[in-house]
A and B are shown apart, each in its own frame.
Chain A
Amino acid sequence: MKIPYYPGCTLKSTAKHFEDSAIESAKKIGIEFVELPRWNCCGVVAPLATDDIMRHVAPVRNMIRVLEMNRDGLVKDEKRLLTLCSMCYSTLKRSNLRVNELIDDLDVLNDFMYKEEMNYDGSVKIVHFLEVLKEMGFDKVKDKVVKSLENLNVAAYYGCKLLRPKEIGIDNSEVPIIFEDFISAISANPVDWHNKSKCCGSFLTVDNKEVVVDLGYDILTDAQKSGADIIVTSCPLCAYNLDNRQKNIKEKYPEFKEIPVVYFTQLMALAFGFPKEITGFDGNYINSVKLFKSKNIKV
């Protein structure tokens, strides 16, 4: 199955291991990511002000590219746009929802983008990789597992963007289960914990690090108390705040014990038997190899 794929800027630089592990794992179960030609930044933050139409230009322009892919035969009747990064998923999906609800805004946007060869008609569907896996059936994922992760206790960190606002959530925003189902499919043990959708502090990491340190401490220690060995996420910003910021957490809370935080696709690639060039555990800040060794999982 060929599906239009939107990488997002971070997946081409600091989260390259997220992209590599996802693309290869997807291939194994018959999904080919076809990168969107001439894609641009998703817009990062979905504007909330009703008159802030300008910030919808970036997301909508990407949707025009999906229509062009169909027109040019790069994919066949496939209007879904697959995302990996939670932030891109959220921004694109919220914008898509908005222009479908307020058709006048779509006219304004199309008018502004008169240089584009096609107008956007609202027909693209933004999807997250986890949703695509669920739709295919997690059994398909299970079938490809060659390396058992049965001793590994994994905490799924949803963060905000995959679940809220609920109109765009990939699952029930109060009681999500999709990530846990995925973890079971790759043969690991999902742990139940409280802070799975607590905010990581997001962009406050730039100018108010303290807030992120405190939130991160709460989130990570809760996962540990619930028996987690490792945390998985699908957001590069959450990953930065929960992984790289452990250095700052340790400075403020000396008793804090570090815990690896990786992208869910890295564990998927590991279970599928991919080598370290694909799993990319070197790309994470906290070393996870020691953990895998203690669980007799060869990396």
Chain B
Amino acid sequence: MTDKRKMINVFIMGEAQKVPEGSTILNAIEYAGYQLKKGVGCREGFCGACATVYREKGDYKLKGGLACQTVATDGMSLVQIPFVPAEKPVYDMDKITPDINTIKELFPTVFRCLACNTCTKACPQDIQVMDYVQALKQGNIAEAADLSFDCIRCGLCALRCPAEIVQYNAGTLARRLYGKYLAKKSPELIKRVEEIEDGKYDQEIKELKEMNRKDLTEKYYSREIKLDT
């Protein structure tokens, strides 16, 4: 059986290949016969493993994207980034504080930011990367955590940064600090964790595990949702 779809030309790591029109970059690479062991993950745009660098025909700009979310276009030139060997400082969450001193110590390169915005341009998640780097520079951990929330750690920002900042690892630190020290504590959650640890739900879970699919489905849809007031 022959493939009736319209084919386009792409250049994968410099080699000309014909792939079906409408393919994602990831599909195009695999269609061309490459087997990816790195540079591929969930295939749903969530995990950040498939960072890709590409250039479209007639454009001088190098762009970044996720291979599973970006559609290949005719004349596109591209390469997969299997891994970004960026610096990742080791720290003990119990021994650091949610303020500028932690940023100074663990990510001193943040203070070299030129505000050039190249990181934001590279981000496939449309995150205002430069803005969260600037927030870190100001010691505003909550703002940095909020702005970097959608980061999937593909590493394209760090690869493009002229100031050699590792934005995504610094953003991760901000979110960890926010979660541990700054976020509003939930008393309900603490109570529920205690209940789970005390085995309050063990019997119920055991019963659910032993149920057949039909009964389980029925039980699920007829469940009563109780809201504590």
Partner of B139, one of A13, A41, A57, A58: A13
Are A57 and B115 closer than 8 Å at their CB atoms? yes
Are B114 and A9 closer than 8 Å at their CB atoms? no
Q: Mark A87-116, 1 if CB is under 8 A from B, else 0.
A: 000000000000000000000000011010
Q: Is A43 an interface residue (CB 8 A)?
A: yes
Are A38 and B100 closer than 8 Å at their CB atoms? no
Are B137 and A57 closer than 8 Å at their CB atoms? no
**Secondary structure of the A contact surface, majority rule:** loop
Are B100 and A13 closer than 8 Å at their CB atoms? yes
Residues in chain B near residue A43, CB distance under 8 A? 114-115
CA distance A14 to B114 in the complex (A): 21
Q: Mark B124-156, 1 if CB is under 8 A from A, else 0.
A: 000010110010011110000000000000000
Residues in chain B near residue A38, CB distance under 8 A? 128, 131
CA distance A38 to B120 in the complex (A): 14
Partner of B134, one of A14, A41, A55, A112: A41
Q: Interface size on B (CB < 8 Å)?
A: 18
Are A9 and B138 closer than 8 Å at their CB atoms? yes
Question: From residue B128, how far is it (CB to closest CB) to chain A in Å?
Answer: 8
Question: From residue B9, how far is it (CB to closest CB) to chain A in Å?
Answer: 28
CA distance A177 to B116 in the complex (A): 38
Are A9 and B115 closer than 8 Å at their CB atoms? no
Are A115 and B139 closer than 8 Å at their CB atoms? no
Question: From residue A85, how far is it (CB to closest CB) to chain B in Å?
Answer: 13
Whether A9 touches B117, Cβ cut-off 8 Å, given contacts A38-B131, A40-B130, is no
Question: From residue A252, how far is it (CB to closest CB) to chain B in Å?
Answer: 27
Question: From residue B162, how far is it (CB to closest CB) to chain A in Å?
Answer: 8
Are A54 and B120 closer than 8 Å at their CB atoms? no
Q: Which residue of B lies closest to A62 (CB)?
A: B115
Q: Mark B112-124, 1 if CB is under 8 A from A, else 0.
A: 0111110011000
CA distance A112 to B115 in the complex (A): 12
18 contacts between A and B (CB under 8 A): A9-B139, A12-B140, A13-B100, A13-B138, A14-B100, A39-B134, A40-B115, A40-B134, A41-B113, A41-B115, A54-B114, A54-B116, A57-B116, A58-B113, A58-B114, A113-B117, A115-B117, A115-B120
18 extra interface residue pairs, beta carbon distance < 8 Å, beyond A57-B115, A57-B117: A9-B137, A9-B138, A13-B99, A13-B138, A14-B100, A38-B128, A39-B134, A40-B113, A40-B115, A41-B134, A41-B137, A43-B115, A54-B114, A58-B113, A58-B114, A61-B115, A113-B117, A115-B120
